[in-house]
Amino acid sequence: MAVNLKTLAHNENLLTGGHRACAGCTGANILRQLMLTAGPDTVVGSATGCMEVVTTIFPYTAWKTSFIHSAFENSAATVSGVETAYRALKKRGELPVEREKINFIAIGGDGGTYDIGLQSLSGAMERGHNMLYVCYDNEAYMNTGIQRSGATPLGAHTSTAPAGTVKQGKEQNRKDLTSIMVAHNIPYVAQTTPYHWRDLATKVEKALAVDGPAFINILMPCPVGWHFDTAIGQDLAREAVESNFWPLFEVEDGVYKVNHKPKDPTPMTVWMEKQGRFKHLFRPGNEHLLEASQQWVDLQWKRLLRLEESTNG
Amino acid sequence: MEQKLMALSGNEAVAYAFKQARPHVASAFPITPQTEMMHKYAEFVANGEIDTEMILVESEHSAMSAAVGSAAAGARTFTATSSAGFALMWEIVYITASLRLPICMALVNRALSGNINIHCDHSDSMGGRDAGWIQLFSENAQEAYDNAVMSWRIGEHKDVRLPVMTTYDGFIISHTADSLHMLPDDAAYKFIGPYKPGYTLLDVENPITVGPLDLTDYYFEHKADQLAAYDKAAEIVGKVSEEYGELTGRHYGFCEEYKLDDADLVMVILGSSAGTAKDVIDEYRNKGVKVGLLKVRMFRPFPASYIAAKLAGRKAVAVLDRSASFGGFGGPVFTEIRSAMYGQQVPVHGYIYGLGGRDFDLKQVATVIEDLQKVASGGAFEDINLLGVRS
């Protein structure tokens, strides 16, 4: 499968402009790239969150495909219902329009996916629905005002785990949701970012082609929550990969493939110092937190390489 | 119409009623006492009697969420639950009605926790009374079956498009073998008809957005539209019941009246307890006491003026609630009826009974009738009374 920029650029833009995402939001990039690849014969279901709120303010919708939002924690369950209805209606020859294939995509932010929607996601993946779940992971509850989530990295300042005189932001490492999804033994799991558009489009194409559930976790730099200049969101996505904080990899039928191995990974501090959420970690006395962040990333990276090795043996 | 006489539990009867609608999708999660209904339905599917796709979810919250997705995709969809399962669904129960998705549900009444209790009371359905579903209560397996068959026609009517729950008392109806008449499958399906959704997510040539963000400028208008739907819903419940009566010989309305015409004293009851009350009313009638029963079948939409007219001019009315409204002024049925009776000089008293499956026996009915006699002859009485509880 080769993704071609020329073809992609000519596909219809299924998320129109005029939505109300913040300046510099990389989430809208993610959705556009996702939908350019998925095409018009797609039903999207979204969890409550930034991307749902900014794209569907009544009486407007930015979606040129069918779209459903029901609640925060249930986009996987909701889309599993849509997909089941499709199979049931198709079986009886009762579909409103004949299509060889309709894509079913559930989306959610990290709050709606790592945390409140995890049970619903796990259930839908285990049941084997023919659907893709895409998490746009901006590492906190941005829509409600930047509260910490299970995806927030160690030391990050959020409104519920702020940096103060005694505490230094989030006290725990982030949850490894992608691994949790791999543990569901579904046909396709991947991580990517909107900077790596070809990687993202290829992964969406693969995910939609498998028979069964697929999951893609996409890092989404957020200028509001991460506190950075609105021009550099995509750069931060690239640097997250170059520092090994957010490796590009995919797991097809249990076999790991790391899609990009930085020859000389940049230190975490290079990525972190551009983000206001980590500013306090650069104060004297907090060196151990910067070290801990680096150690954790190094450990995760080694683990990933070992998984790649062991599953390709 | 020739109908088959069957001996079935309430759960089995409702499973048959749902099957007769040939639903495309069912979502299910186990909770006592609803489980047996879905077991029966799963058997139908496993034996090829029906080709419904079953979504066996990991929680009731997902059961209702998957049902929402399925119904929005244009599939005829049902689910079932009880008690805590219904409570877990709560958020989506509201969304279902607000999105105007005509999902059918069997709510097998069971007490809410805590403490945990698996037996019947109506606290589950009463907690969801403001969520926007049509609520039909059932006295026995026959009525549960009939309500479930009618629920498809009512909810899917183009002027209604609302979800409908058929409720029946846990264990008392769900697990008790009862005799009932059942329509042949073809006749039932002919009565129900195929589902014709207005819009569907699967019509990819005409994409729609379902469940958008609705702010201060439109939300209220949408709620006003939804409020108007309940008047229409009541009208359609009436029409469908009439048509069903012609087909089956079983005539239902908003309420059932038992020896009500000349009654001075009236008990108002929902669900299986009505059967118990009828027996004791017969005894007192034999003694010359003019007592009757108004059994409320449709609690949502609440037929306020209909009930007020039925109770007008009576000497005393007792409203029996199988649920408590903690900190409120009596049980939910009492509150509605007192309010509906505003301006009438009819004394209305409330009773809370049968919580957590506490047996509702003949003696309790007799107590209420004797209380009604005292009230009718001018005796002072508490507004709210507990029935059948140890002091």
Structural domain spans, chain B: 4-248, 255-387
Q: What is the mean pLDDT of residues B81-108?
A: 98
pLDDT tens digits for B304-331? 999 999 999 999 999 999 999 999 999 9
Poorest-pLDDT segment among A228-232, A285-289, B376-380 = B376-380
User: How many inter-chain contacts (A to B, CB under 8 Å) are there?
Assistant: 174
Helix (H) or strand (E) holding B203: none
φ/ψ of B78, rounded to 5, equals -140, 165
Q: How much is the pLDDT for A1?
A: 53
3-state secondary structure of A212: coil
CB A247 within 8 A of CB A301: yes
Closest-CA distance, A294 to chain B, in angstroms, reads: 37
A112 interfaces chain B, CB cutoff of 8 Å: no
In chain A, which ranges are continuous DSSP H helix? 5-10, 27-38, 50-55, 75-91, 110, 118-127, 177-182, 197-209, 223-226, 233-242, 268-272, 287-311
CA B296 to chain CA centroid, nearest Å? 9
CB contact under 8 A, B25 and A84: yes
Going by C-alpha positions, the residue among B214, B208, B213 that lies closest to residue A64 is B208
Can you read off the two tokens belonging to residue B77?
């969809």
CB A40 within 8 A of CB A97: no
CB contact under 8 A, B57 and A64: no
CB A212 within 8 A of CB A251: no
Quickly list DSSP for A20-83. Answer: -PPTT-SHHHHHHHHHHHH-SSEEEEE-SSHHHHHH-BTT---BSSEEEE--SS-HHHHHHHHH
Q: CA-to-CA distance for A56 and A20, rounded, in angstroms? A: 9
CATH of segment(s) B255-387: 3.40.50.920
Q: What is the mean pLDDT of residues B152-166?
A: 98
φ/ψ of A65, rounded to 5, equals -110, 170
* Residue numbers of A between 266 and 305 with CB closer than 8 Å to B: none
Q: Within a 13 Å sphere around the CA of B370, how many CA atoms are in the beta-carbon half? A: 7
Query: Backbone dihedral region of B304: left (phi > 0), alpha (psi from -120 to 50 degrees) or beta?
Result: alpha
CB B10 within 8 A of CB B175: yes
pLDDT level of residue A4 (50, 70, 90 thresholds):
confident
Whole-complex ipTM: 0.97
pTM of the model: 0.98
Name the residue among B55, B200, B201 with its Cβ closest to that of A84.
B55
Q: How much is the pLDDT for A3?
A: 79
pLDDT level of residue A2 (50, 70, 90 thresholds):
low
Can you read off the two tokens belonging to residue B178?
């009862």
Can you read off the two tokens belonging to residue B35?
């489980």
A12 interfaces chain B, CB cutoff of 8 Å: no
**pLDDT over threshold 80, residue B85:** yes
Can you read off the two tokens belonging to residue A296?
């954790």
Q: CA-to-CA distance for B360 and B281, rounded, in angstroms? A: 14
CB contact under 8 A, A81 and B65: yes
Q: What is the DSSP letter of A111?
A: I
To 5 degrees, how large is the angle CA B383–CA B384–CA B390? 140
A77 interfaces chain B, CB cutoff of 8 Å: yes
What residue of B is the nearest CA neighbor of A123? B58
Q: What is the C-alpha R_g of chain A?
A: 19
Q: CA-to-CA distance for A117 and A108, rounded, in angstroms? A: 8
3-state secondary structure of A104: strand
CB B77 within 8 A of CB B24: yes
Can you read off the two tokens belonging to residue B132?
């926007």
pLDDT tens digits for A86-102? 999 999 999 999 888 99
Name the residue among A71, A84, A123 with its Cβ closest to that of B70.
A84
Q: How much is the pLDDT for B231?
A: 94
Query: Which residues on adjacent β-strands are paired with residue B81?
Result: B107
Q: How much is the pLDDT for A74?
A: 98
Length of chain B: 391
Q: What is the mean pLDDT of residues A240-262?
A: 98
Task: For residue B246, give every residue at least 6 positions away whose Cβ sits within 8 Å of its Cβ, in sequence order, or none.
Answer: none
Going by C-alpha positions, the residue among B106, B115, B194, B119 that lies closest to residue B153 is B194
**pLDDT over threshold 70, residue B356:** yes
The reply to whether domains B4-248 and B255-387 share a CATH topology is yes
Helix (H) or strand (E) holding B387: strand B384-387
- The CATH T-level fold of domain B4-248 is Rossmann fold (3.40.50)
Q: Within a 13 Å sphere around the CA of B25, how many CA atoms are in the beta-carbon half? A: 34
Best A58, A102, A127 member to test B by mutation, with max B CBs in 10 Å, is A58
Helix (H) or strand (E) holding B389: none
Best B68, B96, B218 member to test A by mutation, with max A CBs in 10 Å, is B68
Q: How much is the pLDDT for B242?
A: 98
**pLDDT over threshold 90, residue A297:** yes
